[in-house]
Chain A
């Protein structure tokens, strides 16, 4: 219950940890983010859903890594570029998201918030809560809960 409340909170302002993914700027609520790591060794999981990139050894904890590009229906990350790992903690369980690169923590204002644009395609639409109109850039607010339930 409280998690749902947490997820709604940023719509009325708050802080988002932002990152780049295939040219777009996304943000997740800063309170969900546990840590950000450079590229990690991934252990693949045969037969897993395609969005599951593998498992990461996070100081002895086994953490599932979700490839956010796949999850959002974007093209795979170009060869030779390493993903950045954002570890989020939801309901006490750590999950990690693979993104292109990390950006700043941004204070967002509820007045800048708008529901997802109609042009957003199906797969991504479910995972995007809406957009904040920053100066010169749109910040897409990721529904982290849905994003990790691959």
Chain B
């Protein structure tokens, strides 16, 4: 068995089952010869065996199934009618196939099983039918004879069955004769033909003259030949070992799911009992419960194992992927695999297949450099892609590691800002590790060119979503110049997960252990000082790093029942960022069985399910991804709100209070623009910018809007290659201009500003707004830079330019 490939073994198991089914099908078919459905099923089975045998280079097997398939396809298409003869040859074929399989199983090869007899018999049965069909009553003698002659003429191999067919027809003793002859190997070539010619006329004239004849060679094909090659030493071994087909059974996955569910229930009941028993002093009961505990655990493990498959099932396709892609990209890549027998749940295996393939393609395409580049960097020309899988604390860790160029986090950040995925400000706050996580943002791609391999900006976010949908996580580590490691953490199984139970406002909630990093408990004294606020958001300094805190009570909109000032923080990680979930109490870690929630509750999007705890109470399972997204979203909604507020302020155009719009223009400079000169805030895509003469314009609401880029106008160093431009639209007397800034920051009250008359071209001065020195924009000059004719008409009508500048000076 050791010599047998997994694929061959699988093929054998499958084929043996198929053959048993075939036997039944064929016999049943005789009862209802017109069942197209049954014929199709038989055809498919034979076709499958043929296809696989061709693929595995079992030529004789292929040959015999090929003719069988031919016949079946004609039967199926109605070209041939099913006669007992044909059924017999088909059964004969099944037997031959079986003996071939036995030989393959025992020796790894087809051995000396002879298929020519069966092939000829089938071919014969096909042609015979064609001739005999029309004149049903006509004596079969002639057709039979011609058939035999024809076959004989075709190949010498075909003669064997003919020879056997002849004596067989005579009577019962022929049965003995057949094997005897077979043992004596092939019959002499020419003689049997004469035999047949002589005998043929004796055949009774029926619709199926050859039925008994063909049936007899059947044992001959199976019995003597299976393993002549197998020497005596091997025989006892084979007896002792169960056949491949006998040692496994196929089970419906649904049945396993059902079992898994029941075991889940058992585990819950076990938890319940163990909990109750813990409160009593009954030693017998205690012992029984311990035994129950043990058995339930083992049963759970056992049932889980039935669904486990080695990761090699999905890895086995990757060498080909890497090879083809390597060739295409002209890279030399060696694929190494570690831990290919690591097992995980079948459904999970299916779920990680595509993401894993994507990661591998990505590594080959972007990660590993071309050979000459590698040599230039002093690396070996051959790139190494390593797949690693291992079990680690109840999870399966799968890594895709390459020794390629690595990911330049600075580049990633710049790209993300350019794509408008994050703000430049947010970028400055991010560490290198956070920056790497940006590759998982939707619409992100760093590929310089879109190839047919990757670079369309879809992919990593999809990979992430897929992994997270099965409760897994993905992280990326990269050293520029040294390589990248993509690490997937996948739960062993979906149905039963280890979880932390916490209490919040009197209710219990479960948090999947996979997202939990650590627990922090602070007493009242410490909590009072350790939790600080950044812009109204609470943070905790966890070993020097700021950990944003999310109060579960706030998220759930419940009052906390913890009034002693103690603080319990569950440090969770999701989507590559950490946050602290403040709960009332931490209760326990236990294994929970995930139950789906009803449709009415799915839309809340905060719970990934519910579970029944040991005492029968229900706990909702928190969806950590959703929690973190919610926490993140508040950040963006705040931004949104400030923008809406700006718009609202514009609408009211309250001239009494001088309000300023703060905008960054690049190079760390900030300018203040009087809010009442602003009509709208817009975003314009760079590609929408057109040129008229040496001016930039953009089409806006059916008009041509002249643009001025404040960074150029004021001589700041702004980023030039942004995709989305932040634009402030200023309108007056039916004319509008667009003022391009880098980022809209805030709206402040002008009263608080401290003015200074340090100014420059295009500025009216500077002031301290929001603790920072801010330049006051000379709006008129800026507008004139965009549209020199802007004030032409109003200049005559309006008193002075002070109409615009005045409010600023009153500050």
Residue A43 at the chain B interface, CB threshold 8 Å: yes
Are A52 and B601 also in contact (CB < 8 A) when A43-B507, A62-B595, A62-B610 are? yes
Residue A63 at the chain B interface, CB threshold 8 Å: yes
- Stretch binding the partner chain, chosen from B222-230, B578-586, B616-624: B616-624
In whole Å, how far is A51's beta carbon from the nearest beta carbon of chain B? 8
Inter-subunit contact A57/B600 (CB<8 Å): no
Interface residues of A in 31-51 (CB under 8 A from B): 41, 43-49, 51
Inter-subunit contact A46/B557 (CB<8 Å): yes
Are A95 and B598 also in contact (CB < 8 A) when A44-B507, A46-B558, A47-B604 are? yes
Residue A60 at the chain B interface, CB threshold 8 Å: yes
Q: Which of A51, A55, A95 has the most CB of B within 10 A?
A: A55
- The count of chain A contact residues (Cβ–Cβ below 8 Å) is 24
Interface residues of A in 98-126 (CB under 8 A from B): none
In whole Å, how far is B612's beta carbon from the nearest beta carbon of chain A? 5
Are A47 and B507 also in contact (CB < 8 A) when A60-B265, A60-B612, A149-B600 are? no
Inter-subunit contact A55/B610 (CB<8 Å): yes
In whole Å, how far is A126's beta carbon from the nearest beta carbon of chain B? 16
Q: Which of A44, A46, A60, A64 contacts B598 (CB 8 A)?
A: A64
Inter-subunit contact B597/A64 (CB<8 Å): yes
Q: Which of B556, B557, B597, B606 contacts A62 (CB 8 A)?
A: B597
Q: Which residues of B contact A49 (CB under 8 A)?
A: 600
Inter-subunit contact B611/A148 (CB<8 Å): no
Q: Which of B558, B600, B616, B620 contacts A52 (CB 8 A)?
A: B600
Inter-subunit contact B600/A48 (CB<8 Å): yes
A47 to B556, CA, bound (A): 6
A31 to B497, CA, bound (A): 36
Residue A4 at the chain B interface, CB threshold 8 Å: no
Inter-subunit contact A47/B606 (CB<8 Å): yes
Q: Which residues of A contact B511 (CB under 8 A)?
A: none
Residue A9 at the chain B interface, CB threshold 8 Å: no
Interface residues of B in 594-645 (CB under 8 A from A): 595, 597-601, 604, 606-607, 610-612, 616-620
Inter-subunit contact B595/A47 (CB<8 Å): no
Q: Which residues of A contact B698 (CB under 8 A)?
A: none
Q: Which of B265, B599, B612, B620 contacts A45 (CB 8 A)?
A: B620
Residue A93 at the chain B interface, CB threshold 8 Å: yes
In whole Å, how far is B78's beta carbon from the nearest beta carbon of chain A? 35
Inter-subunit contact A62/B618 (CB<8 Å): yes
Q: Which residues of A contact B557 (CB under 8 A)?
A: 46-47
Inter-subunit contact B268/A45 (CB<8 Å): no
In whole Å, how far is A101's beta carbon from the nearest beta carbon of chain B? 24
Residue A66 at the chain B interface, CB threshold 8 Å: yes
Q: Which of B601, B612, B619 contacts A64 (CB 8 A)?
A: B601
Interface residues of B, dominant DSSP = mixed
Q: Which residues of B contact A48 (CB under 8 A)?
A: 600-601, 604
Are A57 and B618 also in contact (CB < 8 A) when A47-B604, A62-B610 are? yes
Interface residues of B in 26-41 (CB under 8 A from A): none
Q: Which residues of A contact B610 (CB under 8 A)?
A: 43, 55, 62
Residue A3 at the chain B interface, CB threshold 8 Å: no
Residue A134 at the chain B interface, CB threshold 8 Å: no
Q: Which residues of A contact B620 (CB under 8 A)?
A: 43, 45, 55
Q: Which of A47, A62, A95 contacts B612 (CB 8 A)?
A: A62
In whole Å, how far is B581's beta carbon from the nearest beta carbon of chain A? 14
Q: Which residues of B contact A148 (CB under 8 A)?
A: 600
Inter-subunit contact A43/B597 (CB<8 Å): no
A52 to B607, CA, bound (A): 15
Residue A81 at the chain B interface, CB threshold 8 Å: no
Q: Which residues of B contact A51 (CB under 8 A)?
A: 600
In whole Å, how far is A98's beta carbon from the nearest beta carbon of chain B? 13
In whole Å, how far is B511's beta carbon from the nearest beta carbon of chain A? 15
Inter-subunit contact B604/A66 (CB<8 Å): no
Are A55 and B600 also in contact (CB < 8 A) when A46-B557, A47-B557 are? no
- Binary interface profile of B, 554-571, with partner A (CB < 8 Å = 1, else 0)? 001110000000000000
A55 to B557, CA, bound (A): 18
Q: Which of B556, B595, B601, B616 has the most CB of A within 10 A?
A: B601
Please list 5 pairs of residues, one from A and one from B, whose beta carbons are closer than 8 Å in the complex, sorted by A's number.
Answer: A45-B620, A48-B600, A55-B610, A63-B598, A95-B598
Residues of A whose CB lies within 8 Å of any CB of B are 41, 43-49, 51-52, 55-57, 60-64, 66, 93, 95, 148-150
